[in-house]
Amino acid sequence: MYFCFVHNSILNHINSPKELRQLNQDDLPQLAKELRDFIIDIVATKEGHLGASLGVIELTIALHYVFNTPDDLLIWDVGHQAYGHKILTGRKAIFNTNRQFKGISGFPKRDESIYDAFGVGHSSTSISAALGMAIASKLKGENKQHIAVIGDASIASGMAFEGLNHAGVTDANLLVILNDNAIGIDPSVGALKQYLTNVKKGTEKQDNIFEALNFNYSGPIDGHDVNTLITELERLKTVKGPKLLHVITTKGKGLKQAEEDQVKYHAPGKFNASTGDLILKTPSKFTKYQDVFGLTMVELARENNNIVGITPAMPTGSSLKYMMDIFPDRAFDVGIAEQHAVTLAAGMATQGLIPFCNIYSTFLQRAYDQVIHDVALQKLPVVFCLDRAGLVGEDGATHHGVFDLAYLRCVPNLIIFAPRNEIELRNIMYTAQLGLELPIAIRYPRGNGNIEHWKQPFEKIVIGKGEQLKKGKSIAVLSLGTIAKNVSDAIKNLEVSHYDMRFLKPLDETLLHQIFKTYQTIFTVEDGTVKGGFGSEVLEFASKNNYSNTIKILGIPDEFIEHGKVDELQQYTGLSAESIKSAITNQL
């Protein structure tokens, strides 16, 4: 029995895919328009990822229309494209809480909905996960469909190829949908991107790469033609084994500005829902840390021809774009390939280049073996610039850079530095290119700094040297990185000493001995996990040297922190200035 609703009111009646499947197919284009408008209206005021979800509206509707979700398992790679999916699967009424503290996640999340078959946030995991599910279904004798929706930027990642490679020698009931729009956050890069471009143009003469991997390939088809999508998906339901459907879409579809400026409208902030025009924020007098990095890279590269820059698919987000514009032969976007980025940097370092490898803190987790095996073990002086360290805000648990201090400090031969401000970031970058004998990891946060005139003459930083910022009595607070500002605000009117340790490795043990002999109570403050991080390092120092001082560790608790504004999350984790002050005054 099909239901037909008056135009402009179809979405009001859709609270799950069950109602969607009862619609007449002729009503689906109108539903697509309503769904787009719904997303645009809410993201315009609440902010979030926009272009990716607008580009897959028809595909989202077709998938839930054809497949029996949630029994059939649907995985959205990365998850930027899943807003329509969330709205159609019971979260329409609470979609306005998207990415807000205590609201729904901006990404698919297993404990949020039965329709979210797999939690995502990092790219290129969908094929492996869907294959695992397909194999499990076969072993259990279940007749289910397993669908992975992956973008052309994500499928170029090594992990996606690993999944394809395995799937091609199985008879698993797996459908990979390649959402080909030629852009991730920034434009897609690499030979596979060029191959797909040639396929779309009809100029590719070689054998199909996916058929060579034993996939039943179909396409490319128009991803905005819901009827064509439904016809092809119905056919593919009857095809056994691994198959791949190549779908062509436009990121930002349905909003003129989002189609024309796909990078800016990936996550545009607030905008006018009627016109699409961005609502400009009052410009901050402070500079984003990523821009301090990017502009400093250009300065240093002008003077040192051996400097090169590397980023895995984040030239805009990391601000390496500044160097790419001026020195295009010396700045490399390697695509979503963190492991390759690190070992590429290692190879360059063996030949005397000075690679600045800029990777978001949370994404470096994906290249941990390469950091250990290819860089640190060989003492290669790669400069890791870890953007988005600490709490990053609305992207939530998959993106918080809170583990880097813990997972890096146990690696031998690695210097770890956390600048407390923009000038310190500039100076450690300057120091790193003067000729270190070991690799260095420099971690800094997302967002603006707090020094207006940060472009000061370069000064060399002494490796392993901390410094005192304030002298007080009885209690010493040791901080690492930009959390120093919260500490300074917290102790402004307290007789408490404050030390910026600067280096987690090598630790300034001379300064620490002085501190432990002077103060009975010591606080450590870090925007990283309390398990194994800066505070743990100080505790180990105290144990090794038989100190019995009282040590209090403030940092990220041993849990995955949800999404919300950074100040909300700092309050929640006890890292706001008010929380730090309260902890210290309680001790006093």
Residues tagged active-site? 251, 338, 366
**Spatial distance between the Cα atoms of 176 and 146, rounded to a whole number of angstroms:** 8
User: Helix, strand, or coil here: 224?
Assistant: coil
Per the listing, tokens 């530095």 go with 417
The per-residue DSSP string of 333-383 comes to E--S-HHHHHHHHHHHHHTT-EEEEEEEHHHHGGGHHHIIIIIITTT---E
Find how far residue 28's CA is from the centre of its chain: 33
First CA to last CA distance, the chain: 72
The closest of 291, 288, 334, 340 to 184, measured between CA atoms, is: 334
**Spatial distance between the Cα atoms of 446 and 454, rounded to a whole number of angstroms:** 17
Cis amide leading into 445 (omega within 30): no
The closest of 562, 567, 586, 588 to 109, measured between CA atoms, is: 562
**Spatial distance between the Cα atoms of 543 and 562, rounded to a whole number of angstroms:** 34
Question: Could you tell me the CA-to-CA distances from 29 to 81, 178, 354, 475 in Å, in that order?
Answer: 19, 22, 53, 66
The per-residue DSSP string of 4-47 comes to ---TT-TGGG-SSHHHHTTB-GGGHHHHHHHHHHHHHHHHHHH-
Partner residues linked to 479 by β-bridges: 500, 525
Cis amide leading into 283 (omega within 30): no
∠ Cα 111 57 94 (to 5°): 40
**Spatial distance between the Cα atoms of 152 and 81, rounded to a whole number of angstroms:** 13
Burial class (CB in 10 A: 0-12, 13-18, 19+), 358: buried
> How many Cβ atoms from other residues are within 10 Å of residue 544's Cβ?
9
